[in-house]
Amino acid sequence: MFFPDRHGWIRRKPKPTTIQKVKALRKRRPTSGLYGGNKDARWIGHLGEVMIHAWLRCEGVQHEHDGGVNDRPDFTVASTKGDVRVGHKNCTIHIPLKPQHHVTINKEFLDDDVDVWAFTVYEVETQCEMIVGVIGRDEFRRLSWPSTRDVFASGDRARRHDLRVGQLYPPSLLLALDNERVRHLLVA
């Protein structure tokens, strides 16, 4: 079962067998090269994908996933008002997550063909995966700022854009995309 915590984040500690399966699957998937092909560090992002899809299934939300074609963790949520394309991004944090911490999107993904971004965070200290929030793509672009931290990938600097976790909408809004007000809030 999935339960929101006091922040509205959907929190779940994955089973060791789930982590082993995700790590094995991640090793077989292609990499985009953004992290220099480091598949060991990328299993956590795949764990976030697994969690968000399990949560949507548990809540009875119809959605389709392309199975990681082109190494993109995007999916479509069915709605009576029209399908919504959701992009997924995962962050890792080594201390307990707080609303003032940041989620990040690399500059190259800012223009992805998605309507909404969904963010998951893996808390290393507690070994817990969380769905922390959602935000419309255009609103993320408007509210985020270029990160002062740099990512080095194959010797290049990849620009990232940050947004505070507290600025995201609760993940439960993904369950209400038939509601016109929610849809207008998330999908421009």
Q: Cβ contacts of residue 181 below 8 Å, gap of 6+?
A: none
d(CA 105, CA 163) in angstroms, rounded, equals 9
Instruction: Match 């999935």 to its residue by tokens.
Output: 2
Which structural domain range is residue 18 located in?
A: 3-186
When divided into structural domains, the chain yields a total of 1
pTM for this one? 0.85
Put the strands of the sheet holding 10-12 in their side by side order. 3-4, 10-12, 128-136, 116-123, 84-93, 75-77, 63-65
Determine the pLDDT at residue 71. Answer: 53
Determine the pLDDT at residue 7. Answer: 92
List the pLDDT tens digit at each of the 188 positions of the chain.
787 899 999 999 988 888 888 888 767 665 555 444 555 567 788 888 888 988 988 998 888 865 554 455 567 887 778 889 998 999 888 889 999 999 999 888 888 889 999 999 999 888 899 999 999 999 999 999 888 765 555 545 557 889 999 999 999 999 998 899 898 889 86
